[in-house]
Amino acid sequence: MLFSRLIGRRIRLGSGLLLLLFVACHLCNLALGLVSVDAMERWRGALLMPWQTGFGQALLLAGALVHAGLGIASLASRHSLAMSRTDWVQLLLGLATPPLLLNHVVGLQVTSDLVARFNADYGYVLAVYWRYAPLFALQQLLVVVIVWAHGSIGLYSTLVLKPAWPRLAPIVVPILFAIPILALLGFAHAGAAVLARLASDDAWRALIEQNLQLRQAIGHRLNVIEGGAFLVYGSAVVSAVSILVVNILRRQHMRVTVSYDGGLTAVGRVGMSVLEVSRANDIPHASVCGGRARCGTCRIIVPADADLDAPAEAELATLHRVKASADARLACQAHLVGRPVSVRRVYPAFVDAEAAREPTSWLAETEPDLETVR
Partner 1 sequence: MRSWLVSLARGIALLSAGTLSSPARADELILQRLAGLTSPDVSANLQALWDDFALAPSEAERLGAAIAAALRDGTAVRAVTFALILVIVGAGLEWLYWTFAAAPLRAVTGTTATTPGQAVGLASRRLAYLGFGLMLFIASTAAAALMLPWPTHVDTMVIAATALVVAVRSAWIVADVVVSPHHPSLRLAAIQQYKSKFVVDGVAWLTMLAATAILLPQLLTALGSAPHLAGAIRVGIGGLITVGLLAAVLIVSRREDRRGSGRRIRPRVPKAFIASSVIMATAILALIGGGRVAALLIDIAIVAGLLGASRRIVFFFWRDATGRDEEPAVATLPDMLPLIVLALVRFATVIVGIAGLILIMRVPLAELATGSNPLAQFALRVADTVALAFVVYLGWIAIRFAIDRRLRHLAPLDPHSPPTENTRLLTLLPLLRTTLAVVFVTLFTLSALWTLGIQIAPLLAGAGIFGLAIGFGAQTLVRDVISGVLFLVEDVFRIGEYIESGTSTKGTVEHISFRTVALRHHNGPLTFVPYGLLGSVRNDSRDWVIDKFNIPLPLSADSEKIRKMIKGIGEDLALDPELGPLIREPLKGKLYRVDPGVKIFRCKFMTAPGCQFDVRAAALKKIEAALMEAGISFAGAGPQTILVRRAPEP
Footprint on this chain of partner 1 (rule: CB under 8 A):
129-131, 134-135, 137-138, 141-142, 144-145, 148, 156, 160, 173, 176-177, 180-181, 184-185, 187-188, 191-192, 195, 282, 284, 348-353, 368-370, 372-373
CB of 272 to partner 1, least distance (A): 19
The least CB distance from residue 42 to partner 1, in Å, is: 23
* Closest to 109 (Cα-Cα) out of 93, 117, 124, 120: 120
Count of C-beta atoms within a 10 Å radius of residue 44 = 18
To the nearest whole angstrom, how small is the minimum distance from the Cβ of residue 55 to partner 1? 32
- Measured from the CB atom, the residue of 156 and 204 that comes closer to partner 1 is 156
- Minimum Å gap between C-beta 291 and partner 1 is 16
273 DSSP 8-state letter? B
**CB–CB of 327/300 below 8 Å?**
no
Nearest CB to partner 1, comparing residues 116 and 373: 373
135 or 249: CB nearest partner 1: 135
Rounded CA separation 68/47 (Å): 24
Q: How far is the CB of 126 from partner 1 (least distance, A)?
A: 10
Residues 6+ apart with CB under 8 A from 78: 244, 247
CA-CA distances (angstroms) from residue 156 to 75, 165, 182, 285?
Answer: 21, 9, 20, 21
User: 61 or 181: whose CB is closer to partner 1?
Assistant: 181
CB closer to partner 1, 166 vs 227: 166
Question: In whole angstroms, how far apart are CA 184 and each of 32, 105, 256?
Answer: 10, 19, 50
Torsion of CA 27, 32, 38, 43, to 10 degrees: -60
- For the bound state, the minimum distance from the C-beta of residue 319 to partner 1, rounded and expressed in Å, comes to 23
Nearest to partner 1 of 70, 96 (CB atom): 96
Say if CB 189 and CB 34 are below 8 A apart: yes
Listing from the earlier edge strand, what are the strands of the sheet with 255-259? 265-269, 255-259, 341-342
Task: CB nearer to partner 1: give 11 or 149.
Answer: 149
Q: In whole angstroms, how close is the CB of 199 to partner 1 at the nearest point?
A: 10
| CB nearer to partner 1: pick between 22 and 130 | 130
The residues that bridge with 308 in the sheet, in sequence order, are 336
Class of residue 339 by CB neighbours under 10 A (exposed 0-12, middle 13-18, buried 19+): exposed
Write down the least CB distance from residue 305 to partner 1, Å. Answer: 30
- Give the shortest CB-129-to-partner 1 separation in angstroms: 7
Dist. CA 274–CA 10, nearest whole Å: 23
Pick between residue 99 and residue 368 the one whose CB is nearest to partner 1.
368
Residue 280: what residue type? A
Cβ contacts of 203 within 8 Å, gap of 6 or more = none
